[in-house]
Chain A
Amino acid sequence: MESIFALVLAKANYVAYIILMMVGLYAMIVKNNLIKKIVGMTIFQTAVILFYVSIGCKRGATIPILEHHASPETAAHGAEKIVAHAMDAVNVTHYINPLPHVLMLTAIVVGVATLGVALALAIKVYNTYGTVEEDEINQQLRSG
C-alpha cells in the first residue's frame, strides 16, 4: 500500500494531467451544448500544457533567469559589466529547464487562437439556428 502511495506521489504531475485531460475529453464527447464542448476543448489543451511545464521541474531549483545584480558601477559601465558578472560558472542544477516553458508559450497562444475561432463559429451557428444545443440543431436539420 505504501509503495503504491509512494509511486503516485513520485509521479503526481502525470496523474494530475491525465485526470484533467480525461475531464476535458469527457466534456467534448458527451455534452450536448456547444459552449460546453468548447470549454472541454480548452481544458483538454490546458492539461497538455500542464504536462509539459511539469517536465521541466527540478527539485530545489529556481526560475530560469540568471542571477545578476544591477549596481551603480554596472549601470555606469554599461552592459559589458553585466555580461562579465553573470559569466562566472553557472550551476545547471540551480535553474529549471527552460525549454518546456518556451514551447508552452507557443502552445498557449495557439490555444487562445483556436478558442477565438471556435467562439466565432459558435456565434454564427447561434445566428443561423437560434440555439446552441446540439440535439435541437439536429432536430431542426432533420425537419427543415
Chain B
Amino acid sequence: MKILGKLTILLCGVLLMFFTMEFPDWGDPESPASTHLSPYFIQHTMEDTAVPNIVTSVLADYRGYDTMFETTVILTAGLACFLLLRIERKKVPHRYYRHEPTGVTLRMEGDKFPRNSEVFQRMDANWVPYDFIISRTCRLIIPFIQIFALYVVAHGHHSPGGGFQGGVLMGASVILFAISHSLRAAIKSFSEKTAALLSVTGVFIYAGTGALCLIFGEVFLNYSALAPLFGSDRVMARSHGILMVEIGVAVAVTAVMIWIYYNLSSAGKQDEGL
C-alpha cells in the first residue's frame, strides 16, 4: 500500500513538473498574468478609491463580494464547531471553594457563589494550577497587543494590514488570556454568547453596508452610493466604505477565533481548556 502510494505520488509529481516547462519564468514582468488585468488596478486605484494600498482596494472594493463570502466562510466554521461539539454543562449538586487568606474550605449547595469571590478560589476536578509569573506577564502584554490590533485595522489603507490581520491579533489576545489564566476566567470576561453574537454582527455590518448601497439606489456593494451619508464626494465615499467593511470583518474574525478556541480546546464542554 505504501509502495503504491509512493509510486502514484512520484508519477503525479513528474507529470506536473513536465507540464510546468511551458509556464512563464519566475519573476517575469511580461507574463500574461502581470500584463493583462493587474496594470488597471495599479494605475487606477488612487483615482477610483483614494486608497494607496492596492491589495486593500482590490480586496474590499473591486472584489469586495468575494471578501464578504470569505467572512461568511469563517462564520460557517464557527457555527460548525459549535453545532458539532457543544455539550450542555451538567448541573453539579454542590461546589467547593477555598478561602485564600485563611485556607478554610467551604461547600456551597446548588448554584450559589460566595460573595466577594476575589478571595475565594473554586476547587474541583478540573482545577488548573495557578502560575504567578505567566499570568502577570501576560496581563502586562495583552493591552499592547490589543492596541496594536486596532492600529493594524485602522491603517489598512496605507500600510499592510486590514480587517483579517487585525481581527486575528485581537482574537489572539483573548486566547492568550485564556491560556495564561484559565478558560473559566476568559469565559467570565468574554462569554460564548458575546462571541457568537459579535461574529454574526460583524458579517451583518459587511452585508448590511452592501444592502445600504442597494437601498440608496446603486448596485450591491457600490460604496459610492453612500456619498450623501458620509458627506463627501463619490471617491472618498469608497474609501470610507472600505473602512466600514474592514471594521465588520475585524469584529467577525475576532469573535469567531475566540468562539472556535472555546469549543475546540474544551471539546465542547467549556469547563476547562488547555
> Which A residues are closer than 8 A to B by beta carbons?
7, 10-15, 18-19, 21-22, 25-26, 29-30, 54-59, 61, 63-68, 70, 79, 82-83, 86-87, 90, 92-93, 95, 97-102, 105-106, 109-110, 112-114, 116-117, 119-121, 123-124, 127
Contact = CB atoms under 8 A, between A and B. Distances in A.
Contact of A66 (B6, B8, B52, B160): B52
B52 A120 contact: no
Interface string B25-56: 11111010110011101110111001011110
Contacts, number: 165
B1 interface: yes
Nearest to A113: B77
Contacts of A14: 17, 20, 23, 26
A65 B160 contact: yes
B25 A127 contact: no
Contacts of B37: 99
A109 B257 CA distance: 11
A13 B26 contact: yes
Contacts of A127: 267
A48 B29 CA distance: 21
Given A56-B33, A58-B34, A79-B236, A18 B267 contact: no
Interface in B181-208: none
B260 interface: yes
A83 B85 contact: no
B50 A83 contact: yes
Interface of A is mostly: helix
B74 interface: yes
B1 A30 contact: yes
10 contacts: A11-B23, A11-B26, A14-B26, A55-B31, A57-B27, A67-B52, A99-B41, A101-B55, A109-B70, A112-B74
Given A13-B26, A65-B54, A90-B43, A25 B9 contact: yes
A58 to B, nearest CB: 4
Contact of B13 (A7, A22, A106, A114): A22
B84 interface: yes
B159 A120 contact: no
Interface of B: 1-2, 5-6, 8-10, 12-13, 16-17, 20-21, 23, 25-29, 31, 33-34, 37-39, 41-43, 45-47, 50, 52-55, 58-59, 63, 66-67, 70, 73-74, 76-78, 80-81, 84-85, 158-160, 164, 235-236, 239, 260, 263-264, 267-268
Contact of A12 (B10, B12, B26, B67): B26
B267 A55 contact: no
A117 B81 contact: yes
A117 B27 contact: no
Nearest to A15: B17
A71 to B, nearest CB: 14
Contact of B47 (A70, A87, A119, A120): A87
A105 B70 contact: yes
A116 B159 contact: no
B85 A30 contact: no
Contacts of B268: 123
B46 A11 contact: no
